[in-house]
Amino acid sequence: MKQINMEDLVQRVIDELSKKGQGVIHFPEQKQCGVKNPNNPEALEQAMKRTPARIGIGRAGTRMKTGSYLQFRIDQAAARDAVMKTISPELIESLQLPVLHSRATSMEEYLMNLDSGRMLSDESARWLEQHGDKNKDVQIVISDGLSTSACEATIPDLLPALIQGLSMRNVSVGKPVFINKGRVWIQDQVASIVNCKVVISLIGERPGLATAESLSAYMIYKPDANTVESDRTVISNIHKGGTLPIEAGAYLAELLEEILMYQASGVKLSQLRAING
């Protein structure tokens, strides 16, 4: 049996509603209250502004209204596609990013075998050894991770802002690389190959129904065999509804300068900040 894309299925339902004279259903960017005559409309409006959760959507009998249900299915389809689709070749070309690969040969392997995304393929490791920029202050790694959509939505604005911010601070930067199907820990191998002081991974977060376009930045100072998760500094929720990509680029440049100054990241960085006021 041919598998139907969830987004296509939702579109079919919308088309059927249009044929029946119910008109085209539009889904606005801003959430709209679906509750008729709420007891406290001001409180409900404030609550809806404070959370991406699906509150105040109303109901038809014991079920969601058609518009709310279709929006749920569309968001679900977007989350699934964010994980499964491949990065746009046009984006890679426009940013002139070398493309490397992890040891995961398929998305199924990437999802089921975590270690496969934590190491470069032998061919990619050799390429980086031969062509990577060595002995720089910062090496930038970009990876689709669990959301290709996050990379496509944020990297075009974030990456130039980050590079410009580092340049203004006289921080040397190795040529950024894109790693297909990479996980966070792959940055440790990259750092060991190019011998950088700090490596930063810009990686797609696991998509949710609130957004499928959220990116995280993981930074670590000189990772080695004894590195643990608490050694990493993490900034998450980089997307149009969270920290804007351009703002994130500027902030990350400032944070990387601080990591270089203290020669530490993660919990150690927090401790040094506290000691130095």
Cβ density class 102-130: b for 16+ within 10 Å, e for less: bbbeeeeebeeeeebbbbbbeebbebbee
20 part of a folded domain: no
Residues 161, 76 share a domain: no
Per-residue CA distances from 173 to 35, 73, 194, 237 (Å): 52, 42, 11, 24
Please check whether residues 185 and 71 belong to one and the same domain.
Answer: no
| DSSP string across the chain | -PPPPHHHHHHHHHHHHHHTTS------SS-----SS-S-HHHHHHHHHH--S--S---BTTB--HHHHHHHHHHHHHHHHHHHSPPPHHHHHHHT--EEEBS--SHHHHHH-GGGGSSB-HHHHHHHHHHSPPS-SEEEEEE-TT-HHHHHHHHHHHHHHHHHHHHHTT--EEEEEEEET--TTHHHHHHHHHT-SEEEEEEEPPP-SS-S--EEEEEEES--TT--GGG-EEEEEESTTSB-HHHHHHHHHHHHHHHHHHT--HHHHHHHHHHT-
Query: Based on the domain organization, do 97 and 217 belong to the same domain?
Result: yes
Q: Does the annotation flag 213 for ligand binding? A: no
Total domains present in the chain: 2
Task: Please tell me whether residues 152 and 70 are part of one structural domain.
Answer: no
Tell me: do 234 and 111 sit in the same domain: yes
Asked whether the beta carbons of 204 and 45 are under 8 A apart, the reply is no
Q: Are residues 74 and 134 in the same domain?
A: no
Give the per-residue pLDDT at 75. Answer: 59
Which residue's structure tokens are 């920029």? 133
> Do 100 and 76 share a domain, yes or no?
no
Q: Is residue 19 part of a domain?
A: no
Q: Do residues 121 and 68 share a domain?
A: no
Do 165 and 216 sit in the same domain of this protein?
yes
Domain boundary among 84, 115, 135: 84
Provide block-wise average pLDDT over 10 residues at a time, the chain (277 residues). Answer: 53 56 49 73 74 68 69 58 70 93 90 92 97 98 87 94 97 97 95 98 75 88 94 94 93 97 96 89
Are 168 and 189 found together in one domain?
A: yes
- Cβ burial, residue 244 (10 Å; 0-12/13-18/19+): middle
In a domain, 51, yes or no: no
Domain co-membership, 73 together with 141:
no
| Domain membership flag for residue 105 | yes
Give the CATH number for residue 131: 3.40.50.11240
Contact residues for 217 (Cβ-Cβ < 8 A; gap 6+):
200, 201, 202, 203, 234, 235, 236, 238, 248, 252
**Distance between CA 217 and CA 149 in Å, rounded?**
15
In a domain, 150, yes or no: yes
pLDDT for res 62 = 76
Tell me: do 202 and 73 sit in the same domain.
Answer: no
User: Which residue range is the domain that position 1 belongs to?
Assistant: 1-13+63-84
Predicted local distance difference test score (pLDDT) of residue 264: 97
Ligand-binding site membership of 29 (annotated): no
